[in-house]
Amino acid sequence: MAPLPFHHLLVAMAVLLLLLCSAIPSSASSRTLPASAATTTTVNVTRFGKAYTKVCDADRFAEMGLDMSSFPYCNASLPYADRVRDLIGWMTVEEKVGNLGDISRGAPRVGLPPYRWWSEGLHGISSTGPSTLFDDLRSKPGNHSGRATVNNGTVFANVINSAASFNETLWMSIGQVVSTEARAMYNLGKGGLTYWSPNINVVRDPRWGRALETPGEDPLVAGRYAVNFVRGMQDIPGHDDGTGGDPFARPIKTSACCKHYAAYDVDDWHNHTRFTFDARVSERDMAETFLRPFEMCVREGDASGVMCSYNRVNGVPACADARLLSGTVRRDWQLHGYIVSDCDAVRVMTDNATWLNYTGADASAAALRAGLDLDCAESWIEEKGKPLRDFLSEHGMAAVAGGKMRESDIDGALRNQYMTLMRLGYFDNIPQYASLNETDICTDEHRSLALDGARQGIVLLKNHDGMLPLDPNKILAVAVHGPHARAPEKVMDGDYTGPPCRYVTPRQGISQHVKISHKANMTIYFGGINLHIEREGNDREDLLLPKNQTAQILHFAKVSPNPIILVILSGGGIDISFAQKHPKIGAILWAGYPGGEGGNAIADVIFGRYNPGGRLPLTWFKNKYIHQIPMTSMEFRPVPELGYPGRTYKFYDGPDVLYPFGYGLSYTKFLYEVSTNGTSVTLPATGGHCKGLSYKPSVATTPACQAVNVDGHACAETVSFNISVTNAGGRDGAHVVLVYTVPPPEVAQAPIKQVAAFQRVLVPARSTATVPFTLNVCKAFGIVERTAYTVVPSGVSKVLVENGDSSSSSVSFPVKIDFSV
Ligand SMILES: *[C@@H]1O[C@H](CO)[C@@H](O)[C@H](O)[C@H]1NC(C)=O
Ligand SMILES: *[C@@H]1O[C@H](CO)[C@@H](O)[C@H](O)[C@H]1NC(C)=O
Ligand SMILES: *[C@@H]1O[C@H](CO)[C@@H](O)[C@H](O)[C@H]1NC(C)=O
Ligand SMILES: *[C@@H]1O[C@H](CO)[C@@H](O)[C@H](O)[C@H]1NC(C)=O
Ligand SMILES: *[C@@H]1O[C@H](CO)[C@@H](O)[C@H](O)[C@H]1NC(C)=O
Ligand SMILES: *[C@@H]1O[C@H](CO)[C@@H](O)[C@H](O)[C@H]1NC(C)=O
Ligand SMILES: *[C@@H]1O[C@H](CO)[C@@H](O)[C@H](O)[C@H]1NC(C)=O
Ligand SMILES: *[C@@H]1O[C@H](CO)[C@@H](O)[C@H](O)[C@H]1NC(C)=O
Ligand SMILES: *[C@@H]1O[C@H](CO)[C@@H](O)[C@H](O)[C@H]1NC(C)=O
Ligand SMILES: *[C@@H]1O[C@H](CO)[C@@H](O)[C@H](O)[C@H]1NC(C)=O
Ligand SMILES: *[C@@H]1O[C@H](CO)[C@@H](O)[C@H](O)[C@H]1NC(C)=O
Ligand SMILES: *[C@@H]1O[C@H](CO)[C@@H](O)[C@H](O)[C@H]1NC(C)=O
């Protein structure tokens, strides 16, 4: 530990240094990480990765002229917390400040190497960020030499596709594969251990440019996606829960990060950019929608990272909001990990949003004090002869010297960082992952999971007269048209991707089954949009297909002797009203952005090798919808004064839905039966649990206790039932059983319905699968009342199991809930 006088000396030195720095004419410039810097640091990383895959290696210390045994932080028999305290204790204030950015400087003086925090693994290891280095030079410039050559990794379908599978096993398996490939990359000196995935912001508005990266519009589905993906990324067999052990010290395979917290989902719409946008959000929407997936990600997934977003929430930048960071995430949800800023989010507070006219030092101090632990930088401050600096390491010393930033706050941030790195085996390695290498990347098993996942997410939107599947023995040739028939990797792979193990276009996939020929009497059109239209930093102008595509599709429909097949590639929904009932457009498939194996997945569905079972994870609106509400209005419920119609399936029941949330057909027919024992529940309402509700004006009498507050309620009551799913057709198929609850009809401003549970099951032809459900009454029937409490309303709620094809086979039953005082 640095004794106090020494500390004072450092502050004095820092002030001097600052004076010196300010005397230097402004040669400092801020810019994107230059290639030269990438090279320099890569050599470092490579060197570190080449010889050593752990910090605490006695030979490594010896090479640096240090004796490892004099550093208790390397003593593996001490608790992590003690080791981290020791490590931070060795560091000077300047060294500490130098480790607040994602390209950390380490502290070579005491054996701590630099570490690059920024890796991405949204749906496979991504080239985005400075740490991951594929040798494929299409991917990124820089020094790629490492222990082996790795050109590519497994690229899964984009998250919106995986979400459409509603298959929790798949979500977890994807996380497991990504983390295995990540550990292999790390061992080869080509990647990091900390991944800034998943993206779990709900898709509030159909124009959002990042819908493709997310699990869709339902907060519970997004939360379940997060929990499974994070557990896949992080959990090590034998260490998969905190029971008995210290959750802060639970070893993890890789670190996942729930982003972007919070109320972030405007990228750039009519000049409202994410850097300056102030999301005005009610506490009710916050609790009910915006925070819910994050709470599940942190509490149930035990994610070790959270990323705060660029936008402000009710006036305060998310990354400087002590209530959101220290209060909600760290104290209430008990985050065992670190909080990182979205890249340049702290810089943006002064450069772009000019928040409170803060200086760089003010903003840095405010962010750290609010609970930020790490500054991600997209632009770097570069000065000759000095290390690259992110915003916090640039301004940190001035903030300390000016009395704005406490050293103890810096220590807290570093503690959260190093505890995470300890858990990752960065200091000691994790034996069961130490031998992963290039042969563990793009294995047959990983590639077949990518293919299977892509197939599971394909949604059949129309199938007039059972036109699909095509029988390749009868239809010997097809004509293939449309801009996505030969979709390049950058369309099929979507966003946050790396080079795929293998890449199959839709046309190549089709050609595995039949001949492709312009004479053919069957036409398949591959259309949709791409990342020019929907992407990070760019929201959509409308929900339509590019005009010439519509004209082309109608042309082919007209001239083709038979109805044509339309395949749509997109993340968000597309208004294809013209095709929905068109007699010459016989079948429509939505394939999202299905990744490296996408062409095969689509062909397997078209030719009946796979029976589609995906359901839409977001509402497909007609274009008219967007003219009724600006993207900047954050409310979910309708705003009658302004004519705003309400958002998502939970609050919009107007006419402008083309395909609803949960929609999806199959080549077979599924019928439901429900059996349940008890449909009447009594909750104890003792101890002041009663809350008032708003009722519809037509309601004459209301119960004495209108609702119980679930906060502090034991809430062990459950409702159990079985859904029998009968496959009444001649083809095996996967089917998603989607269970909603519907609040009592007399309650005002309640959701129309809300997802309470779901389960994907395989049902062989002409057989029945019985799926048991047990719903916790408070979780499943709870609604968020006006003052943001979650309450269970008195009265008759309903359980609704809706078939994706809106056929009569949906079932429902009432659940009467009352209270005993
Ligand atoms: C890349 O790094 C390797 C290993 O550290 C080094 O030998 C090589 O010279 C570097 N290449 C370039 C072009 O900098
Ligand atoms: C490591 O810590 C343990 C427990 O405190 C201690 O017994 C041991 O001597 C330490 N090892 C070294 C090399 O200092
Ligand atoms: C990384 O590179 C920097 C600058 O070249 C050097 O000072 C530092 O010692 C290197 N670190 C390691 C671990 O090699
Ligand atoms: C956005 O700003 C640019 C430049 O000021 C302006 O030309 C453009 O019309 C604006 N767009 C919208 C949709 O307001
Ligand atoms: C933010 O501010 C910086 C510095 O003034 C400027 O270079 C950058 O273009 C701005 N970004 C946006 C999105 O306005
Ligand atoms: C920021 O500075 C501008 C220009 O000096 C001033 O008009 C404005 O009131 C200041 N804003 C705040 C929040 O202090
Ligand atoms: C990679 O790992 C496998 C399995 O542990 C091993 O058989 C193989 O020799 C390793 N390859 C290299 C190049 O180290
Ligand atoms: C992936 O890497 C392997 C091995 O280097 C190579 O054979 C293959 O062509 C690459 N695939 C793609 C799509 O680049
Ligand atoms: C398509 O053309 C082939 C060969 O001309 C013919 O045998 C087949 O019946 C046609 N299919 C349809 C659906 O019209
Ligand atoms: C539609 O128009 C754009 C821009 O003119 C062009 O790049 C694209 O190839 C056209 N697409 C089709 C399907 O004709
Ligand atoms: C209903 O009760 C019977 C008999 O106790 C039991 O076998 C069955 O599993 C129960 N069903 C449900 C849905 O709880
Ligand atoms: C769910 O995904 C897993 C992993 O891909 C797969 O094995 C399983 O068959 C899928 N379940 C259904 C019902 O499709």
Q: Please indicate, yes or no, if residue 642 is contained in any of the structural domains.
A: yes
Using the atom order of ligand 7, give the atom closest to the CA of residue 438: 1
Print the SS3 string covering 524-554: EEEEECCCCCCECCECCCCCCCCHHHHHHHH
539 and 638 part of one domain: yes
Phi, psi dihedral angles at 418 (to 5 degrees): -75, -30
Whether 548 is in the pocket of ligand 11, judged by its Cβ within 6 Å, is no
Q: State the average pLDDT over residues 650-662.
A: 97
CA distances from 51 to 57, 151, 188, 436 (A): 10, 21, 10, 15
pLDDT tens-digit series, residues 168-211: 999 999 999 999 999 999 998 899 999 999 999 999 999 999 99
Residues 674 and 655 placed together within one structural domain of the fold: no
Helices (H), 333-372: 345-351, 360-370
Rounded to whole angstroms, how far apart are CA atoms 14 and 33?
Answer: 26
Report the pLDDT averaged over residues 564-581.
98
Q: How many domains does one find in the chain?
A: 2
pLDDT of 804 reads: 86
pLDDT in tens, 436-482: 999 999 999 999 999 999 999 999 999 999 999 999 999 989 999 99
Flag the least confident range among 33-37, 152-156, 214-218, 405-409.
33-37
Closest C-alpha among 148, 224, 155 to residue 188: 148
Query: Residue 145: which pLDDT band, with cuts at 50, 70 and 90?
Result: low
Which ligand 11 atom lies nearest to the CA of residue 722? 13
Mean pLDDT score of the chain = 91
- The H or E element that residue 555 is part of is helix 547-559
Q: 384 alpha carbon to ligand 1 midpoint, in Å?
A: 21
* Whether 635 and 709 share a structural domain: no
How much is the average pLDDT of 795-803? 96
- Quote the ligand 9 centre to 477 CA distance (angstroms): 9
**pLDDT value at position 144?**
67
Nearest-angstrom CA–CA distance, 9 and 153? 50
Q: Is the CB of 521 under 6 A from ligand 9?
A: yes
Tell me what pLDDT residue 678 has. 72
Residue 309 has pLDDT above 50, yes or no: yes
Contacts of 404 (CB under 8 A, 6+ apart): 361, 362, 365
The predicted pLDDT at position 385 comes to 85
Check pocket membership of 773 for ligand 11, CB cut-off 6 A.
Answer: no
Q: What is the pLDDT of residues 399-430, one digit of tens each?
A: 999 999 999 999 999 999 999 999 999 999 99
Is there a domain that residue 731 lies in?
A: yes
Q: Between 11 and 190, where is the model more confident?
A: 190
Whether 692 and 793 share a structural domain: yes
Q: If you measure from the C-alpha of residue 74 to the centroid of ligand 3, how many angstroms do you get, rounded to a whole number?
A: 20
pLDDT score recorded for residue 677: 80
Model pLDDT, residue 807: 67
What angle, 0 to 180 degrees and rounded to 10, lies between the N-to-C axes of helices 4-23 and 391-401?
Answer: 120
Q: Is residue 770 in some structural domain?
A: yes
For residue 518, whether the previous peptide bond is cis, meaning omega lies within 30 degrees of 0, is: no
Q: What is the mean pLDDT of residues 147-176?
A: 96
Give the model's pLDDT for residue 379: 85
Let me know if residue 689 belongs to a domain.
yes
Q: Same domain, yes or no, for 678 and 644?
A: no
Nearest CA to ligand 3 atom 2: 44
Least confident of 126-140, 168-182, 587-601, 716-730: 126-140
| Same-domain pairing of 629 and 685 | no
Q: 720 with 622, same domain?
A: no
Residue 541 located in a structural domain = yes
The two tokens of residue 791 are 């309450």
d(CA 123, ligand 1 centre) in Å:
30
- Ligand 5 in reach of 351 Cβ (< 6 A): yes
Sheet holding 258-261, edge to edge: 258-261, 305-308, 338-341
Which CATH number fits the domain that encloses residue 539? 3.40.50.1700
pLDDT above 90 coverage of the chain, percent:
84
Check residue 51 and give its pLDDT.
Answer: 62
- What's the CA gap between 682 and 688, in Å, rounded? 16
Å from CA of 666 to ligand 12 middle: 16
Does 109 or 10 have the greater pLDDT score?
Answer: 109
Q: Are residues 459 and 540 in the same domain?
A: yes
Task: Note whether 640 and 590 are same-domain residues.
Answer: yes
Q: What is the pLDDT of residues 340-370, one digit of tens each?
A: 999 999 999 998 878 899 999 999 999 999 9
Domain boundary among 659, 684, 708: 659
**Atom of ligand 7 at shortest distance to CA of 147?**
13
Task: Kindly report the protein residue whose alpha carbon is nearest to atom 7 of ligand 2.
Answer: 77
Q: What is the mean pLDDT of residues 261-265?
A: 98
Pocket test for ligand 2, best of 75, 82, 83, 86 (most atoms within 8 A of CB): 75
Q: Among 342, 349, 351, 394, name the best residue to mutate to test ligand 5's pocket (greatest count of ligand atoms within 8 A of Cβ).
A: 351
- Judged by its nearest atom, the ligand closest to the C-alpha of residue 272 is 4
pLDDT band at 679 (very low <50, low <70, confident <90, very high): confident
Decide whether any atom of ligand 5 lies within 6 Å of the 521 Cβ. no
Residues in the chain: 821
Last residue of a domain, one of 633, 659, 685: 659
39 Cα nearest atom in ligand 1: 14
| Residues 766 and 686 placed together within one structural domain of the fold | yes
Q: Which of 659, 683, 711 is the last residue of a domain?
A: 659
Cα of 25 from ligand 3 centre, angstroms: 27
Atom of ligand 4 nearest to the CA of 270: 13
Q: Report pLDDT for 627.
A: 98
Alpha-helical segments (H) within 1-73: 4-23, 35-51, 58-63
pLDDT above 90 (res 742) = yes
Q: Which residues contact 213 (CB under 8 A, 6 or more apart)?
A: 122, 158, 159, 160, 199, 494, 495, 496, 536, 571
**Ligand nearest, relative to CA of residue 72:** 2
- The yes-or-no verdict on residue 391 having pLDDT over 70 is yes
* pLDDT exceeds cutoff 80 at 49: no
| Ligand showing the shortest atom-to-Cα distance for residue 351 | 5
What amino acid is encoded at 331 in this protein?
A: R
pLDDT at 42: 33
Beta bridge partners of 128: none
Q: Which are the catalytic amino acids?
A: 342
Report which bound ligand comes closest to the CA of 586.
9
High-pLDDT (> 70) share of the chain, %:
92
Q: What are the pocket residues of ligand 6 if the criterion is a CB atom closer than 6 Å to any ligand atom?
A: 356-357
Q: Which domain holds residue 694?
A: 670-820
Which residue's alpha carbon is nearest to atom 5 within ligand 4? 271
The residue whose C-alpha atom lies closest to atom 13 belonging to ligand 11 is: 721
Give pLDDT, residue 3: 29
Q: How far, in Å, CA of 362 to CA of 330, rounded?
A: 22
Mean pLDDT of 215-219: 98
Query: pTM to 2 decimals?
Result: 0.92
Whole-number pLDDT of residue 146? 65
Structure tokens at 449: 């999971």
Type of residue at 227: V
Whether 545 maps to a domain, the answer reads yes
Q: How confident is the model over 79-106, as pLDDT tens digits? A: 999 999 999 999 999 999 999 999 999 9
Residue 352 CA, ligand 6 centroid: distance in Å: 14
Whole-number Å distance between alpha carbons of 305 and 296: 13
Q: Does 682 contact ligand 2 (Cβ within 6 A)?
A: no
Question: What is the 502 CA–ligand 7 centroid distance (Å)?
Answer: 22
Residue 110 Cα to ligand 1 midpoint, Å, equals: 26
Quick check: is 515 in a domain?
Answer: yes
> Per-residue pLDDT for 21 more than 80?
no
Answer whether 443 contacts ligand 7 (Cβ < 6 A). no
> pLDDT grade, residue 542 (50/70/90)?
very high
> Tokens standing for 574?
């597309």
- Residues 651 and 688 both lie in one domain: no
pLDDT of residue 18: 32
- The CATH code of the domain that includes 816 is 2.60.40.10
Tokens in use for 11?
């502050």
Q: Are residues 707 and 613 in the same domain?
A: no
Q: Is residue 477 part of a domain?
A: yes
Chain-centre distance for alpha carbon 641: 34
Residue, of 46 and 784, whose pLDDT is higher? 784
Alpha carbon distances (Å) from 140 to 131, 143, 156, 653, 742: 11, 9, 20, 46, 50
* Mean pLDDT to the nearest integer, 582-605: 97
If you take atom 1 of ligand 11, which residue's CA is the nearest one? 677
